[in-house]
Amino acid sequence: MVSETILSVQALSKNFGKIKAVDKLSLEIKRGQVFGILGPNGSGKTTTLGIVLGLIKPQSGDFKWFGKPISSTLLRNIGSILETPLFYPYLSATDNLKIIADIKQVDYQGIDEKLKLVGLYDRRNHAFKTYSLGMKQRLAIAAALLGNPEVLILDEPTNGLDPQGIAEIRDLIKAIALQGKTIILASHLLDEVQKVCTDVAVLQNGQCLFTGKVETITSQGLAVEAMAEHDELLKQAIESCAWAKIIDQQQKVFHIQLDSGHLASDLNRYLLEHEVALSHLTTIKKTLERHFLELLKN
């Protein structure tokens, strides 16, 4: 059975003056995915989210939610956080969420449940101004979840947080995903996307360079890290090898991708045959970050 398409984006384009923020972008997001939109600042992530939420009008292209054009009815099924969370500083979490519930025209019954989910129930009667940045972000997620939307959109949810706050948001996203919700997460933090997302699209200058499963990326082929006393000879030997490719170099350390079926020992044997003795050779797991850097180089 084919998974239901939640969001379909076809050849979206948006310019701001001479800047192409989004350039013929196409994406497809399925039900139940935690879909990461990954790219450096200025790659078009936030503009794309603004378009699909009906906040920004595109120059061209089309998108559909649940197979239908966007409407106020459909938007009730989408919870989103695009900007810095804004709440009344002197009101409690509960009172702030009551205001959000009134705006969304939903009852108050789900407020305590959402506060428990985001770990703020014990602080529900405390003023928003007393919250840490991570707590404020978690309250914003609770607000986005009021009304039980099927889809949750998060734009840079860990931006500005300390390591503990990042870990808390990461665990929260995983917990929400386990409830069966579809999550769309825009971020420039590769490590966080790898830890929480099932699927990813890599954007640069408004264009999609890659889309696919995160697990597929991290299981591709075998990568090794190698060093030799004469790094220029090492570089030349690898460049002459048909089944090895240099994917990164940091000073004298080479990161090398091997084609399927080849091992680190094969590379070591090949280099010895070409009179290059390695001083260091170790297998490394391919990460989303390494794949991302490869894409940007091409």
Q: Residue 189 belongs to a domain with what CATH number?
A: 3.40.50.300
Which residues of the chain carry a pLDDT beneath 70?
1-3, 217-221, 285-298
Check residue 1 and give its pLDDT.
39
pTM of full prediction above 0.75: yes
Length of the chain: 298
What is the Cα–Cα distance from 183 to 28, expressed in whole angstroms?
Answer: 13
Q: Strand 244-250 and strand 253-258: pairing?
A: antiparallel
209-251 pLDDT per residue, tens: 888 888 776 655 678 889 998 889 999 999 999 988 887 788 8
H/E/C letters for each residue in 211-253? EEEHHHHHCCCEEEEEEECCHHHHHHHHHCCCCEEEEEEECCE
Q: Are 72 and 173 in a shared domain? A: yes
Query: What is the pLDDT at residue 290?
Result: 62
Work out the angle at residue 116's Cα, subtended by the Cα atoms of residues 111 and 122, and round it to the nearest 5 degrees. Answer: 100
Name the nearest CA neighbour of 239 among 279, 274, 281.
Answer: 274
Q: Return the pLDDT at 86.
A: 84
What pLDDT, in 10s, does the model give residues 168-180?
A: 999 999 999 999 9
Tokens standing for residue 110: 């789900």
Same domain, 279 and 151: no
Q: Please identify, among 217, 245, 276, the residue that sits at the C-terminal boundary of a domain.
A: 217
> Residue 94: what pLDDT?
97
60 and 197 co-located in one domain: yes
Same-domain pairing of 193 and 228 = no
* Residue 16 sits in the same domain as residue 96: yes
Give 241-244's long-range contacts (Cβ < 8 A, gap of 24+): 241/267, 241/270, 244/270
Q: How many structural domains does the chain have? A: 2
d(C-alpha 203, C-alpha 153), whole Å: 17
CA distances from 20 to 3, 9, 77, 201 (A): 32, 17, 30, 18
Q: How far is CA 46 from the centre of its chain?
A: 12
**The pairing of beta strand 207-213 with beta strand 199-204:** antiparallel
Strands 151-155 and 5-16: unpaired
Residue 201: per-residue pLDDT:
92
Q: Are residues 27 and 76 in the same domain?
A: yes
**What's the domain range around 280?**
220-297
CA distance 233 to 168: 47
pLDDT at 2: 45
- Let me know whether 87 and 165 are in one domain: yes
Judge contact between 129 and 86, C-beta under 8 A: no
> What is the rounded CA–CA span in Å between residue 238 and residue 60?
45
Q: Please say which residue of 182, 217, 252 terminates a domain.
A: 217
